[in-house]
Structure 1
Amino acid sequence: MKRIFRVAAAVTIFAIAGSALGAAALDQAQSLINSGQYQQALTVLDSHLKQVPQDAEARFTRALVLVKLGREDDALKAFSDLTRDYPQLPEPYNNLAVLYAQRGDYEKSRDALEAALATHPSYATAHENLGDIYAALASAAYNRALMLDQDNGVVRQKLRLLEQMNTLPGEAAPAVSVAPTAPTTAPAPTIQTPPATIASAPPAPATTLTPETAEAISQAIYDWSSAWSDQNVAAYLASYDPDFDPGDGQTRAQWESQRRARVGAPGKVEVRVINPQIDLLSADRAQVRFIQTYESDTYSDQVTKLLELRQSGGQWRITREMVL
């Protein structure tokens, strides 16, 4: 069965500061890609990223070039790093899903696509790919059923229908566009997935949010954002509960080490919390949904964020964090 998955060829960058040098490097790399000179394009991008390591568009383009070169493990790491550093962008999740699908790991592919749709519910490519993944999972389940009951004619018919639906004559590999007007054929890629969502505790119907509790929770959120803006790493980390779950496979120690480096690194940071909406889940648990804006010397963005908090020792601290 030939299954066609669509790879995102461009990344939507939300207000990421650029430069004439960065634009020139990307234009040069894109020209080399269009002419099939992938190794040369990779050299240009690597040189640029040594100077501007957090240029998301350049990193995304580099990951696509790695796919073109057949360096699947490297492409996997590149897209995975993008989902970690820019969780608001759906395209890296989508391409991770395609790469996992090429390896036959449909469960991980499904999770990556659900993560893409959590950040961008109207992302049509991810919806299409998710439909194909569900079909692949169904096919695997029907095949297992047929192994257990080879005389089951209903299962055989369902498998035939899936084969007809998922076979497209004349197409053998996922189509990758490295430019909007220049579709090409990509080698099979590789993948990793972040969790699709963060499960939330159901609200307790009898719990009432008092003005005092709302003020305490709001203060905890603003103290967290202020510590981040001030690059006060100790105060920033103190905003998180000891049982905080990074949610991306990292240990707490790994996450703290990463956040220490990133929170303290830029020359200037400003984080703002806009329109926080508080839902009290129980006497000591709450959710806060808000718009977060972030600005540094080299990067800015705006995302919708959900924090889960727990009260302990009279303090509200973050137990889970999610970009919606």
Structure 2
Amino acid sequence: MLKFCRIAAAAIVFASAPVLAASVAEEAQALLNQGNAADALRKVETHLQANPQDAQARFVRGLALVRLNRTEQAIRVFADLTRDYPQLPEPYNNLAVLYAQQGDYERARDALEAALATHPSYATAHENLGDIYAALAGASYNRALMLDPGNGALRRKLSLVGQLDNAPSDPATTVAAPAPRAAAPVASAPALAPAPATIPPPAADIDAATTQAVTATLAAWSQAWSGKNLEAYFALYAPDFLPEGSLSRGAWEAQRRDRISRPKRISVKTVNPQIARTSDGLRVSFRQDYESDAFSDQVAKTLELKQVGGSWKISREYTR
């Protein structure tokens, strides 16, 4: 679970009016803690009109933008802070969280490594960097399993990654009280990649290898959707996949591209998958937990799978 941080007042050397600057930032932070992000943003933006280089107020502005789901603006705030105050690790950390929410794990890793270059003892950045490496490992193992579904060693590695505590949470709804040192206290923020799907117990007529291969396909599907990786997402559908609702394949793909690309953040989890045989393949039924920056729901989802070129592909998809 990647963690946002709050900048401590002691970490900033203010160029002018330090008491007033700290007061404005602290008042805005209190509004954030009360869930009033819009008022917090107005307060710091009014202050920044006269004090544009107040680093602490700029930092709180970034947190307020995160709460308001204005992610691109928040990224610009934290990126500007890393350029103007490269000695501070906290802006790098929060920049990494936002990159990870967008599925850009390489840039998230680079930001965290920059934070640790300035403060090697910054525990939050070390923890977040571990989560980033776990997400990168899970994505790589899933891609490898798509190419080699019979590889037992890969399945064991994927299972180990899936046991890590990197489940998504709500974005920075609370901020902890100031710690006695400048390395900031933290609040929970979401990791972008969901953990791989739990492997269900095999049905009586389905062997363990098939169960694991289907589970790997399901995990790759949810991760491609969550990461808005359209190429990987569409590659999991069979060439003869027929969408529900009389849509053509082309119209369905155009619709999916729009719906997947539009949100700033997506999380898709597959819960309690159950696998059964059909006349020409397999059926996997599960609870789908979907969340984006603007919408969330839970539905009963079914995917029907068939083997294509040695891999399991989606031939039908429907909600019941």
| Interval of TM-score (by shorter of Structure 1 and Structure 2) | 0.5 to 0.7
Give the CA deviation at 1:147.
Answer: 1.4
Structure 1 CA distance for aligned equivalents of residues 191 and 51 of structure 2: 29
Q: Deviations over 1:173-222 (max 9, x none)?
A: 45564341797665789xxxxxxxxxxxxxxxxxxxxxxxxxxxxxxxxx
Give the CA deviation at 1:160.
Answer: 0.9
Aligned-partner SS, 1:74:
helix
Q: Does 2:108 align with 1:109?
A: yes
Structure 1 residue aligned with 2:44: 45
Structure 2 residue aligned with 1:119: 118
Structure 1 CA distance for aligned equivalents of residues 137 and 190 of structure 2: 25
Q: Deviations over 1:12-53 (max 9, x none)?
A: 634334523323322331232222211111111001001110
Structure 2 CA distance for aligned equivalents of residues 30 and 150 of structure 1: 49
Contact 1:6 1:176 in 2 (8 A): no
Mapping for residues 117-196 of structure 1, pairs under 5 Å:
117-167=116-166, 172-173=169-170, 175=172, 177-180=174-177
What letter is aligned with 2:2? F
Contact 1:10 1:179 in 2 (8 A): no
Q: Deviations over 1:276-313 (max 9, x none)?
A: xxxxxxxxxxxxxxxxxxxxxxxxxxxxxxxxxxxxxx
**Per the alignment, do residues 102 and 124 of structure 1 end up closer, same or farther by CA in structure 2, a change over 3 Å counting?**
same
Structure 1 CA distance for aligned equivalents of residues 45 and 191 of structure 2: 22
Structure 1 residue aligned with 2:92: 93
What letter is aligned with 1:165? L
Mapping for residues 224-243 of structure 1, pairs under 5 Å:
none
Structure 2 CA distance for aligned equivalents of residues 187 and 109 of structure 1: 13
What letter is aligned with 1:10? I
**Per the alignment, do residues 36 and 186 of structure 1 end up closer, same or farther by CA in structure 2, a change over 3 Å counting?**
farther
Q: Deviations over 1:55-112 (max 9, x none)?
A: 0000001100111111101101100110111111100001111111111111111111
Structure 1 residue aligned with 2:212: none
Mapping for residues 1-324 of structure 1, pairs under 5 Å:
4-11=1-8, 13-19=11-17, 20-167=19-166, 172-173=169-170, 175=172, 177-180=174-177
Which structure has more RCO (C-alpha within 8 Å, separation ≥ 6)? 1
Structure 1 CA distance for aligned equivalents of residues 176 and 164 of structure 2: 29
**Per the alignment, do residues 153 and 173 of structure 1 end up closer, same or farther by CA in structure 2, a change over 3 Å counting?**
farther
Structure 2 residue aligned with 1:243: none
Structure 2 CA distance for aligned equivalents of residues 134 and 184 of structure 1: 20
Aligned-partner SS, 1:155:
helix
**Per the alignment, do residues 188 and 51 of structure 1 end up closer, same or farther by CA in structure 2, a change over 3 Å counting?**
farther
Structure 2 CA distance for aligned equivalents of residues 141 and 187 of structure 1: 20
Contact 2:4 2:187 in 1 (8 A): no
What letter is aligned with 1:136? A
TM-score, normalised with respect to structure 1: 0.52
Supply the RMSD in Å over aligned alpha carbons: 2.4
**Per the alignment, do residues 57 and 40 of structure 1 end up closer, same or farther by CA in structure 2, a change over 3 Å counting?**
same
Structure 1 CA distance for aligned equivalents of residues 190 and 136 of structure 2: 23
Which runs of 5 or more residues in structure 2 are unaligned?
179-184, 193-320
Structure 2 residue aligned with 1:261: none
Structure 2 residue aligned with 1:322: none
Structure 2 CA distance for aligned equivalents of residues 38 and 107 of structure 1: 29
What letter is aligned with 1:74? Q
Structure 2 CA distance for aligned equivalents of residues 74 and 55 of structure 1: 17
TM-score, normalised with respect to structure 2: 0.53
Contact 1:83 1:93 in 2 (8 A): yes
Structure 1 CA distance for aligned equivalents of residues 46 and 64 of structure 2: 14
